[in-house]
């Protein structure tokens, strides 16, 4: 499956906002505590592989999902409530967040709820 322009923009958003803090086009040691370097093309390829089979997510992808859930659950009550999440739902628990996570990285539907786990964006 080739990477659509819509999904490429979503992947680049996460790559640029959360990892490539110096906007060099690669994730470098100073950008990320793991001593790795990942180019934009490699980043997109990793998530494209994920989109083809989310149930076979790599361990770091699963951990990243959990980390983002904890980050967004500012109150640490085990759910992301309306003030913490922008989908318009009253709250989102861990199980639903995992499904929204899969949806963000795999859907081609711009209106899908999973597209809002990182806030409101325009792709």
Q: Where are the domains of the chain?
A: 1-52, 58-109
pLDDT above 80 (res 33): no
- The DSSP result for 8-53, as a single string, is HHHHHHHIIIII-TT-SSEE-TTTSSSS--EEHHHHHHHHHHHHH-
pLDDT above 70 (res 87): no
In this prediction, residue 25 has a pLDDT band, given cuts at 50, 70 and 90, of confident
| CB within 8 Å of 73: residues ≥ 6 apart | 79, 80, 84
Provide mean pLDDT across the span 44-59: 89
Are 83 and 89 spatial neighbours (Cβ–Cβ below 8 Å)? no
Provide mean pLDDT across the span 58-74: 80
In this prediction, residue 80 has a pLDDT band, given cuts at 50, 70 and 90, of confident
Provide mean pLDDT across the span 57-79: 81
Among candidate residues 81, 79, 87, 84, the one with its CA nearest the CA of residue 112: 87
């Amino acid at each position: 499956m080739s990477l659509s322009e819509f999904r490429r923009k979503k992947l680049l958003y996460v790559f640029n906002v959360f990892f490539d803090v110096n906007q060099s086009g690669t994730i470098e040691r100073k950008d990320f505590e793991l001593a790795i370097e990942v180019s934009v093309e490699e980043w997109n390829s990793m998530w494209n592989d994920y989109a083809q089979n989310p149930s076979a997510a790599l361990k770091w992808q699963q951990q990243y999902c959990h980390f983002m859930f904890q980050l967004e659950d500012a109150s640490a009550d085990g759910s992301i409530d309306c003030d913490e999440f922008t989908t318009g739902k009253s709250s989102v628990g861990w199980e639903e967040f995992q499904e929204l996570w899969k949806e963000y990285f795999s859907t081609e539907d711009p209106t899908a709820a999973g597209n809002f786990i990182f806030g409101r964006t325009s792709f």
